[in-house]
Amino acid sequence: MRVIDLHCYPNTAPWIAAQGPYVEALGKYWGRSWVPKREEEVIEEFRAAGVEAVLVAFDIESVTGTPPCTNEYVARLRDDHPGVVAQAWAAVDPFKGDTAIQQAKVAIRDLKMLGFHFHPIMGHYSVDDRRLYPLFETINELRAPIMVDVGTTGMGAGLPGGLGAKIRHAHPSAVDTLAADFPDLTIIAAHPGWPWVDEMIAVALHKGNVFWEMSGWAPRYLPDSLKRDIRGRLQDKIMFGSDYPSIPYERLFREWSELGYSESVMAKVFHENAQRVLGL
């Protein structure tokens, strides 16, 4: 079965460096060293897993002071590895103002990227902050989708003050507000959204322009309410993501299989919904 992985980080030196002070915390959170791989190794892991990867750029420079993993970089990886890398999400730091707006236009018009990923906790913002709306107005005009992290994160976890990050920035209510204010904007919520899973279910059910990918969690630990709705009323909304390199593909596929969903439901999760909604 075709598998589109909507949430893959490059896992190379530019991406590791872009995370600045959060690298050590991520290693502890996932219980292994958080070190870069060579580009060829990453591509081979995607190929061996049989996934079509959608790469994610990363820019929280206003917070970390470290250079981003740029849109040009992930777009080049996409272009160099057709058939393995299906597309790429751009990243813009909303606090860069007019620069972010110009970068957004280049990402879609020139680099032909899929859309934009936002990491609210580590970027220190909520997507319903009206100060950011000029950027979202531009993205809406570009007719590009966005992917927004919801729920907690391993970045900063366990460190004093979480290195200044606030998990409330990734509450589903921010996605709800943004979806209401921009009804033509396609929004993909990323991750199950713990500890606000039921709230995220409500947003996904209520807003027709909101969809949901399940990256960053082992499927066996998904709450029962979410497992039930994936086979039922949310089956046309759910998409597959890994959050590579966080969890091994072997474990993800094994645990998705153990959930006992029908082949028709899994086809929607693994590729059909992403094809229909995002044109992949």
Q: Kindly tell me if the per-residue pLDDT of 49 is higher than 80.
A: yes
More confident call, 154 vs 106? 106
148 close to 118: Cβ distance less than 8 angstroms:
yes
Phi, psi (5° rounding) for residue 261? -75, 155
Highest mean pLDDT among 13-27, 95-109, 154-168: 95-109
DSSP 8-state secondary structure symbol assigned to residue 272 = I
The class that CATH gives domain 4-278 is: alpha beta
227 close to 201: Cβ distance less than 8 angstroms:
no
84 close to 43: Cβ distance less than 8 angstroms:
yes
The arithmetic mean of pLDDT across residues 157-163, rounded, is 77
213 close to 269: Cβ distance less than 8 angstroms:
no
* pLDDT 10s digits, 64-117: 899 999 999 999 999 999 999 999 999 999 999 999 999 999 999 999 999 999
Domain boundaries, the chain: 4-278
How does residue 30 score in pLDDT terms, banded at 50, 70 and 90? low
* pLDDT 10s digits, 202-254: 999 999 999 999 999 999 999 999 999 999 999 999 999 999 999 999 999 99
**74 vs 80: CA distance, rounded Å:** 10
90 close to 107: Cβ distance less than 8 angstroms:
yes
**269 vs 113: CA distance, rounded Å:** 22
Q: What is the pLDDT of residue 165?
A: 87
Residue whose pair of structure tokens reads 């809406």 in the numeric block:
140
More confident call, 165 vs 69? 69
Q: What is the pLDDT of residue 157?
A: 73
Q: How many residues does the chain have?
A: 280
**242 vs 194: CA distance, rounded Å:** 16
The arithmetic mean of pLDDT across residues 143-162, rounded, is 86
Angle at 272 between CA 181 and CA 92, to 5 degrees: 45
How does residue 42 score in pLDDT terms, banded at 50, 70 and 90? very high
* Predicted TM-score (pTM) of this structure: 0.96
